[in-house]
Structures are given as structure tokens and as C-alpha cells.
Amino acid sequence: MSKNTLAYLYGLFAVLLWSTVATAFKIALSYFTPLQLVFVAVTTSILALSIIVIFNNKHSLIIEQFKARPGFYLLTGILNPFLYYFVLFEAYDLLPAQQALSLNYTWAILLPILAVPLLGHKLTKVDVVAALIAYSGVYIIATGGNLTAFNFDSPKGITFILSSTVIWCLYWVINTKDTGDPIVSLLLSFLIGLPFVTIAMLIDQPIDTVSWQAIAAGMYVGLFEMGVTFVLWLMALKTTQKTSNITTLVFLTPVMSVGFIAIILKEHITSATYIGLCFILTGLIIQKLLPKIAKTLAPFILGKKSSQPSS
């Protein structure tokens, strides 16, 4: 099996698992409060990541990386898992899965915008156009397609899900400064975030008695949203000979997720969701692929122009 084929398998498996988590969120939230689910999922993810780190003989890096930058990991642990997943699960608790899923994907559009003030990056025309198109999709989904009524079914839920995209972007902006092993760094963030999650959960509503179905749902979220899937994605990126071939697989996730939501949760997928999601995906495609296409075609266009006789 070639490296590229193996990379595609890792990537497709990661995308398949990520496509199921929106459905898993709603199932798990039928048993748990949002903070209870964060606790169960984070605990599960810590166990899974610890096994992976030990298996790869990287356990010595845990103390080494933490000692080098304790403040950094304290900040990342508060942002993710504590704040991000609390806000995200609150949103999923309030919104239909199809809405929460679609709106959550705008984080990729927001990231380059936040990178302007936080990292000193330049905002391109492509970023602006992509943001306008994507957030038009957000408005379509949030209003249920009733564009002139300015009526939102769950303003609180919409606020939570859009806030989660801001927190996620802040987490990734901060992580651009991370020089440690990415899996160890994620484990450290989760280890440091767990006490905050635990205290908040105990104050809000401690877990009493739960069924095995509840534990299984919470563990599924921890394994395939937070832990194992992240490692599979890293393996895909490390194995591939061309990163862009793997990253474009992400566009399959929301489409497949809507299918799982319709089949398993029996949610009726509204036309507003389809149209809004198309807008969001169009914005993502413009942002991610248009600059690469232009860069690829530039030599041919310039070469054609230079071959033309001057007047």
C-alpha cells in the first residue's frame, strides 16, 4: 500500500468518525447535562490519549512540555476542553443538530479574520468574500429561511454556537505558538482542563446514577470527537505527500453528518438548512481552494500573455 493510499484511508476514517459526532452529541445530551457530558467525554479522551502517548513512548514529554510552558497549557486547557465544549454542548442542547452542525463550520471562515488582529495577518479579498457568503448562510439557517422576519427560533442557541466558533478559533490561534508534540499538547490541555470541568459540573449538577447507554454515548463523544480521530487526522497529514489532497476531505464531513442526523435522529432536514449549508460550504471552498487554483493557473496565464506580440 502506497503512502498516499494509507493517508487517504486515515483521512477518510477520521472524516467518517467526525461525521457521526453531531448525532452522538444529541444522543448523549438526552442522558446528560452539557457539563456532565463534557466531564465524561474529557475523562474518556484523557484515557485514550494517555494510552496513545505511552504506546508511542512519548510519556516523558508530558512533564517536559508542561514545565517549559505551564501558563500556555493552562490557557489552552481553559479554552479547550472546558469553555469550548461547554458552550458547544449547550448549543446542541438548545438547537436542532442540523442547525448546530452547520453553524459550527463557520469557524474556518472566522479563523483568518481573527488572525488579522491576533497574529498580524493580512485580510485578503478572498477572505472577505468567503465570509460574506458563509455568514449569509448562517443568517438563512438561523432564521429558518424567513429572511425578512428577523425571527430566530433560539437566539440563545445561536449565540452559543457562534460563540463556540470564536473560542475554537482563539484556541487554534494560540496553538500556532506551540512547539511541542501535538498529541502530548492536546493531552496536557485536557489534563489541565479537567479540574475546571469537574468543579463546574459539581456546582451545576453532579452525575447521579446513569445507564450503560449514557456512559457509552459519552465515551463515544470522548473517543471520536476529542481523542482518537484527532490522532488519525494527524497521521493522515504526516503520511500524505500532498497535504491539500487530505484537507479537502473535510468538506465531506457536514454533508455526511446531515445524512446521519436525518437517518439516526430522524430530524427533518429543512430547505433552509440545505441552502444555508451550501452557502457556508461555498464560502469555505472559495477561501480554501480559490487561492490554490489561482496560484496553479497563474504560470499558464502569465505565460500566455508573455507569448502574445506587443502592440
| Contact call for residues 21 and 217 (beta carbons, < 8 A) | no
pLDDT the model gives residue 241: 75
pLDDT the model gives residue 311: 40
pLDDT the model gives residue 305: 54
What cell was used for 203? 456546582
Between vectors from CA 103 to CA 284 and to CA 148, what angle results, nearest 5°? 105
Between vectors from CA 235 to CA 41 and to CA 17, what angle results, nearest 5°? 45
Q: Tell me the per-residue pLDDT of 198-211, one tens digit each, with 9 for 90 and over.
A: 999 999 999 987 89
Which residues in the chain come in under a pLDDT of 70? Answer: 1, 148-152, 244, 291-311
One-character DSSP codes across 2-48: -HHHHHHHHHHHHHHHHHHHHHHHHHHHTTS-HHHHHHHHHHHHHHH
What cell was used for 215? 456512559
pLDDT the model gives residue 150: 60
Let me know if 133 is exposed, middle or buried by CB neighbors in 10 A (0-12, 13-18, 19+).
buried
State the Cα torsion 24-28-33-34 to the nearest 10°: -20
pLDDT the model gives residue 251: 80
Backbone angles phi, psi at 150, to 5 degrees: 50, 40
Where is 175: in which H helix or E strand?
Answer: helix 155-175
pTM (global) more than 0.75? yes
> Closest Cα to residue 91, out of 103, 82, 79, 80?
103
3-state secondary structure 245-308: HHHHHHHHHHHHHHHHHHHHCCCCCCHHHHHHHHHHHHHHHHHHHHHHHHHHHHHHHHHHHHHC
Q: Tell me the per-residue pLDDT of 90-118, one tens digit each, with 9 for 90 and over.
A: 999 999 999 999 999 888 888 888 888 88
One-character DSSP codes across 71-100: HHHHHHHIIIIIIHHHHHHHHHHHS-HHHH
